[in-house]
Amino acid sequence: MEDSHQEKQETEATQELNPSEELLSQEGESSPEELLSQEEKLVAEVAELKEKYLRLYSDFENFRKRTAKERIDLIKTASEEVLKELIPVVDDFERAFKAAEQEVDAQKIREGNQLIFHKLVKILESQGLKSMENLIGNPFNPDTQEAITQIPAPSEEMKGSVIDVVEKGYMLGDKVVRFAKVVTGA
């Protein structure tokens, strides 16, 4: 009888397992040691993923800072080529000023100034700058022109049209760099 009592106690002891042990015994897959090693694996994997994320984030931040710096440098030096082309024009003006001090013939001075002007215009055109031409007599266009005043139109068909150009307008490609300042007919 004592043996049956002892067996009864053992069966009761096995039934009083704690909940995690009960789950383990029900699943029959893992022991507490295996669960702990799985937990350690997951913790290690999370740590590894965090490290990868931090490295990726820092790489992205470095890339963002580098591209911002490159953009600023590009903006600062974007006009370098144009300026290099304009330096000879400045030299020509300096030589013209020296020559004009000794020259008495105004026609030669005008010719020299026109040569320098045409050289400057060619450089600007080679960079894509175009002046707005043939505006007089055409309808006023607020997208490319700025009306500074209105005067009575000399004829009925000139109403709303450009009568005079006070300052030329310039385009760089399709973009207006400077609006033409015009007088319109009312």
Specify the higher pLDDT residue, 108 or 25: 108
Per-residue model confidence (pLDDT) at position 17: 44
Token pair 């013209």 is found at: 96
Token pair 């790489």 is found at: 59
Amino acid at position 150, single letter? Q
pLDDT above 70 covers a percentage of the chain that reads 83
- The whole-angstrom separation of Cα 34 and Cα 38 is 6
CATH of 130-186, one of 3.40.630.30, 2.30.22.10, 3.90.650.10, 3.40.50.1580: 2.30.22.10
pLDDT tens for 85-106 read 889 999 998 988 888 888 888 8
pTM assigned to the model: 0.54
Measured from the Cβ of residue 67, the count of other Cβ atoms closer than 10 Å reads 10
105 within 8 A of 142, measured Cβ to Cβ: no
Per-residue model confidence (pLDDT) at position 45: 93
